[in-house]
Chain A
Amino acid sequence: MRFKLNSRLISAAVVGLILAFVINKSWGSASFFDSKNISTFLVVGVALGGIYAITAGGLVVTYATTGIFNFAHAAIGCFLAFFYWQVTVQWHVPTLLGIFITLGIVAPLIGIGLDRLIMRRLRDAALVVQLMVTVGLMLTFMGVTLTVWSPKTGRTLDHFYQQSKGIEIGSVVATWHRIITVIIALVVAVALRWLLYRTRLGISMRAVVDSRSLAGLTGAKPSIISGASWALGCMTAGLAGILIAPETGLVVENLALIIIVAAAAAAIAQLKSIPMAFAGGLIIGLATSFSTTFLSFGTDWNYAGEAIPSVILFIALLFLPQARLETGKVRLTKRTERLTKPWEAGLGGVVLIVIVGAWANGWIPWFTGTTFGERSAVWLGRGAGFLVFGLIMLSLVPLIGWAGQVSFANFAIAGIGAVLFSHFGGQNGDPIGIVLVMLVCAPLGLAIALPALRLKGLYLALATMAFAEFTDKVIIRHPSMLDPSNSGVLYKPLKILGFSISTDTMDRKAFVMFLIITFASLFFMLEMLRRSRWARRWIAMSDSPAASATIGVNLTTTKMVVFMLSGAMAGFAGCMLGLQTGALRVDSFPMFVGLPIVLLLAAQGVRYPIAAFMGAIGLASFPAISELFGNPTWLTQLALVGPGIAAIVMAYRPEGGVFYAGRDLAGLLPWRQDAREEKVLLEAKIRAENIGKDEINDLGLTRPFTAEKVSQLDRILDVTDALDEHPTTPRKVMS
């Protein structure tokens, strides 16, 4: 640790050299010393930067005042931008009144509603639950917006002062709208900074994040404060949405997915400094503009420009200071956990095989005939797809469920695995390729995690998301990975044990059987692993990194092992994904598709291997439900909203569906008195917690709020973490 400065210098030098190399190698025809180019670069960069900065600022404010990284931030902004369009363009409400209605009334209402219904329950929840719920919210807001405002209809929001010419800088015009955006982003950054550090409300907001009892000192009711925080967050989201929409067009994914860029800017700000978030936005805007103005990446790396935000996020992570070891945050919903015995796990695996085998052979009455059987080849093909997703989910159980490492990258790893398999043996139907792919994907899983291993869990989630984006835009698109002119089926049927396994109509049943047998085997393996010291160590690490370290656990190597295991499993799933898809395209693995996989697993219970199977069933249920209703248009958004809602429910059911279903079903058995007791205990515990919260809420209403207290709080908020003493807790003193 003594070498921290040096190691940072070294990384800076390395990153600098790599950047210099890339820039030198990709330098286009434009001259840097041409004032026209410079002015284009700057004006475009600052304009883009303003867009990113204003979103990032809101994101950081929300995080600082609620402790929750809100992936739905941009999606909420998107919804509000559409609402603003509805009010001003459709209903012809004057602009200022429209802004007031949107930002002054609707946005705070959404914020307070979110706080009441969802966010309040997330405060003490595990990171994975917090992340899943906000990602679920993002999908839900997108789905709702798409349902209310069909994208088939054309909509435009005019730029502010569109008619008047802006300021000419060099040979480029900076339009008023963009100037306003940048200024507002700056003003918002300064104002929010002032609000959070210099006003009673702001200090209370930050105090609530740190500790509810601490907030009592500020003389504020935590429940009101957190409502205010979410209202403020939604207002900043809406403000950003209204300013950005004229630039991006009123297109849901354009607006909602700005979150990826904003997250990179927020990482630069270490998720807490609003002025730095503004700077981070500018940096990304300028970098993007620099690359479009001066660089040309060539066809092999054609899409590298689009990956700039994710690369910047990675670089930012390298320079973040080492996080102090996190202390535990476990909310329990059960008293005992019975480890599955080997024979039970074995039986479970057999049951899975029997169920899926019976379905695949059409032996289950309702799932034959015209419902899901008449086109059995179709549903067998889909079934194979869901089982492949199930395998990806299974790869996440040890990683997220046990080791607590929230990763969104496994779908991307599977994508890379699928592509590699088309080079390593899949093209000839050679099973040895699967082993090779797993051998590559294991260290790959590790490499993704490396920059974030020493950081807080949230950064890992961001890093994996950035990696997924990078994979989609750069890795898969390299011609030596996936040759765009080779557009047909990339794989020959795989011959294993006399079966021919592929996506061909005749091979589909064998494929499903092969998948469920491997799924059941991996399920058994994981259940056995859970009984081993490895899983214990991972869970211990996840429950309390600090305590694990103090009993001698090397956190880094322990994490590395689980990442490699998970990577290898994802690689295997990737081979199957390739076989199941048959023909791959460069855009077959967008980051976005990986989200519902993680979401549905988490909703089922990320700690339990069986949840991967239930998650796959969950995925299958959306097209099945849609088909039962005759694929009506009002169910189109089910693919977005379904996983979204499932994840949001986690705010109420953090352990996941599998757990609650298992307990409640067991409670129906006359001899399972323990399960019934368990439930009563849990309810009593929740009641007690709620009473505790109410007490805290009543605290502090009459407390004086002196400058001294403010500075004391400020000091605490800046310097202490959970490992330090709580100087505010009254203690018995020497008699």
Chain B
Amino acid sequence: MKRYRLILLSAVLSVGLVAGACGRSGSDSENSTADPAKAASAACSKTTLEATDIGVSADTITVEVMADTGSALAPGLFQGNVDAMNAYAKYVNANGGIGCRQLKVEAWDSKLDPTESKNGIINACKTAVAMVGGNALFNPDTSVLNTCVDKAGVATGLPDYAALANDINEQCAPTAFIIQAVAESCTTLTGVRDLKAFVGTFEFYKTLAPSINALFLVPGDLPTTIQSATYQIAAAKQVGINVTDAMKVSGRAEQAAFTTYVQAIKASNDNMVYNGSNDVAMTKMRKEAAAQGLDSVKIWGCSLACYTENFKAQGTAVEGTYVWMQFLPFEEASSNAANQAYVTASNGKPDAFGAQAWQAGMAFKATIDSIVATKGANGITRAAILETMKTLKFDADGWIGARVGQKVFSECMVMMQMQGGKFIRVTPKEVGKLDCNPKYIATVKIDPQEAAKSVK
């Protein structure tokens, strides 16, 4: 009940999913994390395990997953994160444990509420060694992440392996390790600044038509969501897409209101529509275009927000919509062990949030493995985790592009298309491959608040 669910969906999906993680193809990544893991299990046998820090006892390692799940208007919104983390703990414990111990996951419902989000961090600070796999949309007060006191009474801070950090304060928190990476450089958060945007998608769309006139549908429920769309638009222009219009859209609006967008498309003869809002908005847009007999649009593009079962269920109405992602899709889980492990554990109901939570769990385990390999099983402390995450090399066993450090802007993508009620890979052609290219990352220099003024 705390907030409107629609705001959330579009907010999340627009802000967070701009980026992903870097990587190479899935096949040749085996050795990056495997070695520390083996070393770790070897180290276990010769140590008497101790309780080394808050959340690390002799036999368990406790982490907290904080996600918005119990808000009355959006029940189960990010339940995927919690389910994935619980499934991940089961999976890890069945496969040798973590840091010579069992992994225990505590769930915290942040209820789309800043106060409960802060409470979640306070709780984690007292009971868990780290926060892992979280996705709390409204998490503006992250001070406790920095000031959290460890077992020795030192304010080391609390490691936060977030699946997705929507709030700029969490994005830029020094103890955060974020799967879905961050466009901000975090040096300054206001005014004209360098911002990263992914343009691999636009490069692909350019191969579909000789010249592109595009309408951008900007998630309009919050000023912040509009602003984050502006760097994508600026980047699209930078690579030669003619953005004829950028208009606010809301999944809440009646479909009739989408006639206005159709008229705008007709007026500027657009051949592409890119939706940065959620799957509901995209569905209404497609249905209204059909009702109005619009046939000039050749490219319907949507963010990861459309990679949902709900969208698939719309069938022919959304046929042909392109959706892109920065991890190997669930449809080809068999090509990647980590992906397969998640899809299996999710009981056939994988979702993008859960996948990122699982990846965050893997990143956490990679950190612990690395600590055990260097400092032994009794070296697992928050301080050690924070130290290790800074330079952690990680690619989720090839599920995502390889990355180093806490916050990385991925240069990889997979482009999928709705065909006959299914998501079908269109590029790169080869199953199990990510298309990675440094050129796919553009840097734009804008003041998003100023730029937001041109959004209608």
Sample (18) of A-B pairs whose CB atoms are under 8 Å apart = A146-B72, A154-B311, A172-B259, A172-B263, A253-B6, A288-B257, A292-B257, A296-B456, A302-B248, A487-B167, A487-B169, A505-B144, A582-B141, A587-B4, A593-B1, A626-B70, A633-B75, A640-B72
B260–A590 CB distance below 8 A:
no
Other-chain contact of A488, B74, B141, B263, B292 (Cβ < 8 Å) = B141
The interface-forming segment of B119-127, B234-242, B369-377, B414-422 is B119-127
Q: Which residue of B lies closest to A632 (CB)?
A: B70
A residues 587-628 touching B (CB-CB < 8 Å): 587-588, 590, 592-593, 596, 626
What's the nearest-Cβ distance from chain B to residue A117, in Å?
Answer: 23
The interface-forming segment of A99-107, A376-384, A664-672 is A376-384
What 0/1 readout, one digit per residue, does chain A (318-339) give for beta carbons within 8 Å of chain B? 0000000000000000000000
Q: Which residue of B lies closest to A177 (CB)?
A: B291
The interface-forming segment of A42-50, A459-467, A704-712 is A42-50
What 0/1 readout, one digit per residue, does chain A (246-266) give for beta carbons within 8 Å of chain B? 111101111000000000000
Q: Indicate if A175 sits at the interface (CB-CB under 8 A).
A: yes
What's the nearest-Cβ distance from chain A to residue B434, in Å?
Answer: 28
Other-chain contact of A146, B73, B114, B119 (Cβ < 8 Å) = B73
Other-chain contact of A172, B140, B226, B292, B311 (Cβ < 8 Å) = B292
Q: Indicate if A36 sits at the interface (CB-CB under 8 A).
A: yes
* B residues less than 8 Å from A143 (CB atoms): 72
A583–B291 CB distance below 8 A:
no
B residues 328-377 touching A (CB-CB < 8 Å): none
Known: A146-B75, A150-B76, A596-B1. A583 touches B114 (CB 8 A): yes
What 0/1 readout, one digit per residue, does chain B (302-339) give for beta carbons within 8 Å of chain A? 00000011111110010000000000000000000000
Q: Which residue of A lies closest to B279 (CB)?
A: A154
* A residues less than 8 Å from B255 (CB atoms): 246-249
> CA–CA, A201 to B267, complex, Å?
53
B1–A175 CB distance below 8 A:
no
New contact pairs (5) apart from A288-B257, A485-B449, A488-B169, CB-CB < 8 Å = A152-B76, A247-B254, A487-B168, A583-B114, A587-B7
What 0/1 readout, one digit per residue, does chain A (372-408) give for beta carbons within 8 Å of chain B? 0011011001100100000000000000000000000
Q: Which residue of B lies closest to A482 (CB)?
A: B223
> CA–CA, A155 to B251, complex, Å?
14
Q: Indicate if A518 sits at the interface (CB-CB under 8 A).
A: no
Known: A246-B255, A292-B257. A636 touches B72 (CB 8 A): yes
B residues 256-280 touching A (CB-CB < 8 Å): 256-257, 259-260, 263, 266-267, 280
What's the nearest-Cβ distance from chain A to residue B182, in Å?
Answer: 14
A251–B75 CB distance below 8 A:
no
B291–A175 CB distance below 8 A:
yes
A251–B140 CB distance below 8 A:
no
A48–B1 CB distance below 8 A:
no
B residues 198-239 touching A (CB-CB < 8 Å): 220-224, 226-227
Other-chain contact of A248, B4, B222, B254, B260 (Cβ < 8 Å) = B254
B5–A586 CB distance below 8 A:
no
B144–A582 CB distance below 8 A:
no
Other-chain contact of A377, B122, B138, B143, B251 (Cβ < 8 Å) = B122
What 0/1 readout, one digit per residue, does chain B (428-456) give for beta carbons within 8 Å of chain A? 00000000000000000000010011001
Which of A44, A166, A244 gathers most chain B CB within 10 Å?
Answer: A44
> CA–CA, A154 to B308, complex, Å?
9
Known: A44-B259, A489-B141, A593-B2. A631 touches B70 (CB 8 A): yes
> CA–CA, A28 to B69, complex, Å?
40
Known: A51-B254, A51-B256, A484-B223. A249 touches B280 (CB 8 A): yes
* B residues less than 8 Å from A253 (CB atoms): 4-6, 73, 252
What's the nearest-Cβ distance from chain A to residue B133, in Å?
Answer: 17
Known: A48-B256, A252-B73, A378-B122. A154 touches B4 (CB 8 A): no
B73–A298 CB distance below 8 A:
no
Q: Which residue of B lies closest to A143 (CB)?
A: B72
Q: Indicate if A532 sits at the interface (CB-CB under 8 A).
A: no
* B residues less than 8 Å from A477 (CB atoms): 223
* B residues less than 8 Å from A249 (CB atoms): 251, 255, 280, 283-284
